[in-house]
Amino acid sequence: MNLKNKKILLTGGVGFLGRFVFKKLLEGGVKEDDIFIPRIKNYDLRKKEDCLEITKGKDIVIHLAAKVGGINFNKENPATTFYDNASMALNIIDASYKNNVKKFVGIGSVCEYPKFTPVPFQEAHLWDGYPEETNAPYGLAKKMMLVQSQAYRQQYGFNAIHLLLINMYGPGDNFNLDTSHVIAALIKKVADAKKEGKDYIEVWGTGKATREFLYVEDAAEAIILATEKYDKPDPVNIGSGTEISIKDLVETICRLMDFKGEIRWDISKPDGQPRRRLDVSRAEKEFGFRAQTNFEIGLQKTIEWYRSLSERSY
């Protein structure tokens, strides 16, 4: 599918990932006037009538909007996390079908996978168990978007695809400790410790859990490639295919930020899912995506962006 001259609805288009997807669309020749980004003050995607309004006349819907945060946010807001994500998907997919949208691109999450999934996670294992408890409501809401996409394809011939994104990081990430994910939270903790003259930082868990991370610009590239080239019902993992322990991650960030203080592990707090690493072969086979950004280079870019943001704030 050539995206030029297509009318595109980009939900979540002013968010962390959305800004990069918007940029990639423009770089690919899509006219800015052909991209509509609904703002939350004007449109509530939990309302069917708003979704019906914004999908009218659109050729493609890329659904990035989500209620999402880290472990602490998910633990404290399980009902909100489930309801908001599930209701947004239910409404936007149904409205897209009813308004004859040609293609729906749903952005799912690694949180959809069972807590104990053989590593690397393969798409075939998605239904082999219950997700990790702290993010199960979010993961299951996203999983229902996959079910709905496949059901609408089966009954109506509706072209809906589903991408399973791993944890992202990069410039423009959310650095609010109440809602941020691990990399942004660690960068902020180290920066705050240095600013306040502390000789330690506190980190949740034991450090033994492992995670895979994808630079946000790579994630945006994958979404554009899938939008152009992938039209099958099967979900597709989007990640870097690499794995790092939280302990090694913390030590790497401390080294890159020249912080030599103590790392204090709060083992009363959860680790979350024990391991995460995706099998990313399907994405490369189906639409030629392979992550390009070296992890330490991506971290350094993220750190530099946060430092420049902090300097502008004072």
Give the catalytic positions in this structure. 138
Tell me which DSSP letter residue 118 carries. Answer: P
Please tell me the distance from the alpha carbon of residue 175 to that of residue 188, in angstroms, as a whole number. 6
* Total residue length of the chain: 314
Please tell me the distance from the alpha carbon of residue 304 to that of residue 212, in angstroms, as a whole number. 21
Please tell me the distance from the alpha carbon of residue 202 to that of residue 252, in angstroms, as a whole number. 15
Where b means 16+ CB within 10 Å and e means fewer, 75-90 reads bebbeebbebbbbbbb
Query: For residue 229, what are its two tokens?
Result: 């080239």
Where b means 16+ CB within 10 Å and e means fewer, 192-223 reads ebeeeeeeebebbbebebbbbbbbbbbbbbbb
Q: Which helix (H) or strand (E) holds 202?
A: strand 200-204
Please tell me the distance from the alpha carbon of residue 17 to that of residue 222, in angstroms, as a whole number. 11
Q: Which residues contact 180 (CB under 8 A, 6 or more apart)?
A: 69, 70, 173, 174, 188
Chain centroid to Cα 140, Å, comes to: 15
Please tell me the distance from the alpha carbon of residue 79 to that of residue 26, in angstroms, as a whole number. 36
DSSP secondary structure, 150-192, as one string: HHHHHHH---EEEEEE-EEE-TT----TTT--HHHHHHHHHHH
